[in-house]
Amino acid sequence: MRVTLKLATSLDGRIATAAGESKWITGQKAREEVHRLRAMHQAVLVGVETAIADDPELTVRLPGFVAIQPARVVLDSRQRLPIHTKLVQDAHRLDTVIISTTAPNKRLTDAGVTVLQVDSQDARPDLPQALNALSGWLNRKVSDRLPVAPPEDFTFEGGLMIEGGGQVAASFLKAGLVDAIEWFRAPMILGDEGRPAVGEFVLNRLADAPRFKRLAVHEVGNDLWERYERL
Ligand SMILES: NC(=O)c1ccc[n+]([C@@H]2O[C@H](COP(=O)([O-])OP(=O)(O)OC[C@H]3O[C@@H](n4cnc5c(N)ncnc54)[C@H](OP(=O)(O)O)[C@@H]3O)[C@@H](O)[C@H]2O)c1
């Protein structure tokens, strides 16, 4: 399954202050583009820390968008996502999936959340298996999705878009599973103690760094939108 990593950062590659404040680093126009990108994907994914800290809806909120919403996916090894989060509260209405290393928890499944259990790798979901499980689940849902075609100005590409945070971004990059990066960069500096867009990487050799080819750069309001594809 094609994986796109979306980053919304300061110039120095931070996604939040040290205290965790992240709303908003990029401006309104960049955020609209993120909604358009969501509309192009079958699923959007965050780590459980982002799901808890930001309490996001992960929905497409654009005028004229009537197609099925992308599935909202949380990487959550031990199913600690709280019931009161918007993701769980909306789970009966919108596809909501947790990828975990443990058996489905009734507290979450009763709330309408789908729990996909995969093997663990260093106590976290094995990522290739997680992508396979998600892709299988999405394919089984495809028939539900066909009746409502997206409006013409929304190109549907399928695949998964990762929306953070830094630990999850690092894991996917390190595993060589990121095919494209959509990087929104705001003209502000958050400093070294801000939360990094890409967490711990443990990379010693430049030769091992994942490399990307820049496809385009657009100005969106005061921000830059850089588009990359894996070399
Ligand atoms: N500027 C932006 O657009 C933006 C976007 C997103 C987030 N943020 C900010 O980023 C911060 C959260 O980022 P974060 O890096 O601390 O956390 P994160 O990446 O959102 O979540 C990390 C957690 O996900 C779980 N996880 C499961 N499988 C994983 C895997 N393979 N690799 C990594 N983590 C895995 C782990 O918890 P378990 O071990 O319990 O599973 C881990 O602690 C918040 O402050 C949020 O506001 C900003």
pLDDT of residue 51: 98
Based on the number of CB atoms within 10 Å of its own CB, is 28 exposed (0-12), middle (13-18) or buried (19 or more)?
exposed
Mean pLDDT of 144-162: 64
Task: Report pLDDT digits (tens) over 72-87.
Answer: 999 999 999 999 999 9
% of the chain with per-residue pLDDT over 70:
94
What residue ranges line ligand 1, CB within 6 angstroms?
8, 15-16, 20, 22, 25, 46-50, 53-54, 75-78, 80, 124-125, 127, 163-168, 171, 195, 199
52 Cα to the center of ligand 1, angstroms: 9
**CATH number where 152 lies:** 3.40.430.10
Mean pLDDT, the chain, whole residue set = 93
For residues 17 and 190, the answer to whether their CB atoms sit within 8 Å is yes
For residues 103 and 116, the answer to whether their CB atoms sit within 8 Å is no
Domain housing 44: 3-230
Answer yes or no: is pLDDT of 179 > 90: yes
Answer yes or no: is pLDDT of 67 > 90: no
For residues 171 and 127, the answer to whether their CB atoms sit within 8 Å is yes
3-state secondary structure 184-230: EEECCCCCCCCEECCCCCCCCCHHHCCCEEEEEEEEECCEEEEEEEE
3-class SS at 53?
Answer: helix
The distance of Cα 27 from the centroid of its chain, to the nearest Å, equals 19
Task: Report pLDDT digits (tens) over 107-140.
Answer: 999 999 999 999 999 999 999 999 999 999 999 9
pLDDT of residue 148: 44
Based on the number of CB atoms within 10 Å of its own CB, is 137 exposed (0-12), middle (13-18) or buried (19 or more)?
middle
* 101, 168, 172, 195, best to mutate for ligand 1 pocket (most atoms within 8 Å of CB): 168
Taking alpha carbons only, the member of 177, 180, 173, 178 closest to residue 200 is 173
Tell me how far apart the alpha carbons of residues 129 and 99 are, in angstroms, rounded to a whole number.
10
Q: What residues pair up with 114 in beta bridges, in sequence order?
A: 97
H/E stretch holding 117 reads strand 114-117
* 37, 49, 97, 119, best to mutate for ligand 1 pocket (most atoms within 8 Å of CB): 49
Based on the number of CB atoms within 10 Å of its own CB, is 46 exposed (0-12), middle (13-18) or buried (19 or more)?
buried
* 5, 37, 124, 188, best to mutate for ligand 1 pocket (most atoms within 8 Å of CB): 124
3-class SS at 177?
Answer: coil
Distances 114 to 5, 41, 58, 117, 170 between C-alpha atoms, Å: 23, 19, 16, 10, 25
Counted domains in the chain: 1
